[in-house]
Structure 1
Amino acid sequence: MKKLAQRIVLTAVSLLTGINAFGQLTTVRINKNTTYQKVTGFGGFVCSPQFGYNHMTTSEIQTLWGANSQAGYNIMRLYIPEDSNNWSSVLATAQLAKSMGLTIFASPWTMPAAWKTNNHVNAVYTDANGVQQIGYLKTANYQDYALYLNSFVTYLQNNGVNLDYISIQNEPDEMAQYQGCIWTPAQIANFVRDYGQLINCKVIAPESVGFTDNFRQCHAQPGDHG
């Protein structure tokens, strides 16, 4: 874990120095007296690729997160399990994060399959006829989904954790054959506009899979629900 933290720091340094198109080392000059935008902090996703919360020990988490840690992360992203019966798996990590003074936000990969157009937890799956079935959230279930997200917020709150932000969707543009859901920018904008007020938490959206401006129109500022 110490080596991981060192690699992260080295990567950050290399980004500041940089390599130009000709392979030459370049230097970036930063004027600390000029402010372009506010950076709330830096952080990472605490779950394993299998969405398990038990793959990092408390000591390992404290190596990366916290003011006195090696990496100095101050933001932690939590995974929201699709089945509400599994939300308890989030709690210990969320409570630890809050005890460390971290900013935490939560991201869903998928909502219950019955609310999706492909009736599957995956964003995309190939049916028996070889046809790809894409999963969008059904318009008829927009309110159900907003209340579902609010229930997660309430669950954490009832257990001593006030979530700072909640996302509408992890990677809404990723045609993943694993847990996910596809959203267009217009769908996210309409969902946040019409149902965001049902979520008792600051809403952020979205977390696209790549560097794209396609979702610019549906960005919600912290504190906004529309």
Structure 2
Amino acid sequence: MRTRLLLTIAVAAAAAVLPATSTATAAPAVPPAPVPAPNPTTVHEWLTTPGVTTPTDVQLPLNDTVTKSPVTVHVDPNVRYQSVSGFGAAITDSSAHVLYGLTPDNRDAVMRNLFDPKTGAGIDFLRQPIGASDFAVGQDYSYDDLPAGQTDYQMKHFSIQHDEAQILPLLRQALKLNPRIQVVASPWSMPGWMKTSGSMIDGKLIDDPRIYRAYALYLVKFIQAYQRAGVPVDYLTVQNEPQALERKNYPGTDLPWAQEAKVIEALGPAIRDAGLRTKILAFDHNWSEHPGDVSSHQRAGEDPEPNYPYDLLGTDAYRWVAGTAYHCYYGDPTAQTGLKAAFPGKDIFMTECEGGDSDTIIGVMRNWGRSSIDWNIALDENHGPHLGGCGTCNGTITVNSVTKEVTYNDQYRDIEHFSKFVPAGAVHIGSTVDATSTKGAPLETVAFTNPDHSTVLVALNTGTTTQSFTVAYGTHSFDVTLPAGGAVTYQWPHVN
């Protein structure tokens, strides 16, 4: 992770028409109300608007006829796309430190608001750094740090002791609150002794078969150690942001696609032989290569790699890869659809998106994304603590380092619009906006069929005025209005 990069003009333009929003909302006085059971004759509407602390939560009539409207959103359960894995954020070293600054009772209340699927947001997908990221406290660390010049190919010194104090207890608590949680883990760097720099900061993985085997063993031992600690690792990437060069003050590694293929070809059999079920995700970087990273490659005398995920999936590593992980900091989510068309047998995941909003999540899900994961789940009022990199990143919540007041930021509500209503196993279905106006309607939508056969529609009004529209589902419909900048989730039960 590094200083937040701009999205492409296409994505930024959609955000630009939104009115100014508060970056944070005050902590709820009581835990959020649970989602009511679907009523066979009503639609549950859950609405948030810019600058308003508390969502509105009402029931709307579900008509057994389709009314005519200048703007109609058609939801079609017969058009089916990908299944959903979940929505969430990351309990980084910094997040754990901030949460442990709260009293046990207050921390428990925050954890319920984040993870409880009945009374809270129901977050069910977590991104977990393997060792230090830029959001760590004090200094970088791996699970096998050694003095300069020493090696440990057999991982005799491997230990996850660092995580046992705060990170693992929080992960276990989250899993107790929501047993459906899945974890995707990612290293910002392998141990420094495996790298050309001799450090977790910058450098490349040493191109040596012994190093590839050692790194595969390192990752397998991480999965095993976390599993013994009560935290199964469902997915794994082998390098966070592998195109990131010149990261001078926090862990990072320049890992070209050819080297990542070698890592995966060593790791895949190692995971299989260890009897583990963890799946490997490739790439773990932006939709498009950022111009800053292109320039870094050129200064290093290297060719840029704009087709990294395509090149990687074109190697023998393909057989060991379950899908591709993306970040949202440059490019746009249609890149996901392009890759899915080229490799239809591989899944797509969004594994990091600091500052992502409802519009971004909708774009991710409309382009074959199975997950959408924010970055830090909690930070302090100074956007930290952190080692370097992003100095302006917000947490899903903010914990004031002095007063210990907890603020639930916009990211919390953006995630909640999905995680509270769309569980793992839901399927993305068709939704289209039909407007009689030649200019169309400023609505972004995405719809799902849940495992309980209820239907969910998430909509965002990207315009500057209130938008009225009809939602049509088969022979049923309901009429609604959505304020400018408003995001809304509608849920209704199975109807024929």
Distance 1:186 1:4 in 2: 47
Deviation of 1:192 (Å): 0.7
Match of 2:162 in 1: 86
Q: Deviations along 1:89-142, whole A, 9 cap, x unmatched?
A: 43212212322211112211111111111111112xxxxxxxxxxx11112211
Give yes or no for the alignment of 1:136 onto 2:204. Answer: yes
Q: 1:190-201 counterparts in 2 under 5 A?
A: 190-199=262-271, 200=276, 201=278
Q: What is the TM-score of this pair, normalised by structure 1?
A: 0.72
Match of 1:97 in 2: 174
Q: Deviations along 1:161-210, whole A, 9 cap, x unmatched?
A: 222122211111122221111211222122112332213322222210x2
Q: Secondary structure at 1:195's aligned position in 2? A: helix
- Decide which moves more: 193-202 or 100-109: 193-202
Letter in 1 for 2:322: Q
Match of 2:296 in 1: none
1:121 to 185, 196, 200: 200
Q: Rate the CA distance shift 1:104–1:3 in 2: closer, same or farther, 3 A.
A: farther
Q: Secondary structure at 2:196's aligned position in 1? A: coil
Q: 1:163-178 counterparts in 2 under 5 A?
A: 163-175=233-245, 176-177=247-248, 178=250
Deviation of 1:28 (Å): 6.6
Give yes or no for the alignment of 1:161 onto 2:231. Answer: yes
Does the 8 A contact of 1:78 with 1:94 survive in 2? no
Deviation of 1:217 (Å): 3.8
Q: Rate the CA distance shift 1:194–1:149 in 2: closer, same or farther, 3 A.
A: closer
Match of 2:284 in 1: 207
Deviation of 1:54 (Å): 2.7
Give yes or no for the alignment of 1:188 onto 2:260. Answer: yes
Distance 2:266 2:91 in 1: 31
Deviation of 1:146 (Å): 0.8
Does the 8 A contact of 1:113 with 1:119 survive in 2? yes
Distance 1:66 1:218 in 2: 38
Does the 8 A contact of 2:283 with 2:308 survive in 1? no
Q: What is the TM-score of this pair, normalised by structure 2?
A: 0.35
Q: 1:15-164 counterparts in 2 under 5 A?
A: 30-47=75-92, 51-56=94-99, 57-68=107-118, 70-81=120-131, 82-83=142-143, 84=159, 85-89=161-165, 90-99=167-176, 100-101=178-179, 102-123=181-202, 135-140=203-208, 141-164=211-234
Does the 8 A contact of 1:142 with 1:191 survive in 2? yes
In structure 2, the gaps of 5 or more residues are: 1-23, 33-47, 51-70, 100-106, 132-141, 144-158, 289-306, 314-320, 324-344, 346-496
Deviation of 1:40 (Å): 1.4
Deviation of 1:144 (Å): 0.8
The structure in which a higher percent of residues are helix is 1
Deviation of 1:70 (Å): 4.3
Does the 8 A contact of 1:43 with 1:76 survive in 2? yes
Distance 1:169 1:96 in 2: 27
Match of 1:221 in 2: 322
Does the 8 A contact of 2:215 with 2:263 survive in 1? no
> Identity, % of aligned pairs?
27
Does the 8 A contact of 1:167 with 1:206 survive in 2? yes
Does the 8 A contact of 1:189 with 1:217 survive in 2? no
Letter in 1 for 2:233: L
Deviation of 1:221 (Å): 0.8
Deviation of 1:31 (Å): 3.1
Does the 8 A contact of 1:41 with 1:73 survive in 2? yes
Instruction: Mark the structure with the bigger radius of gyration.
Output: 2
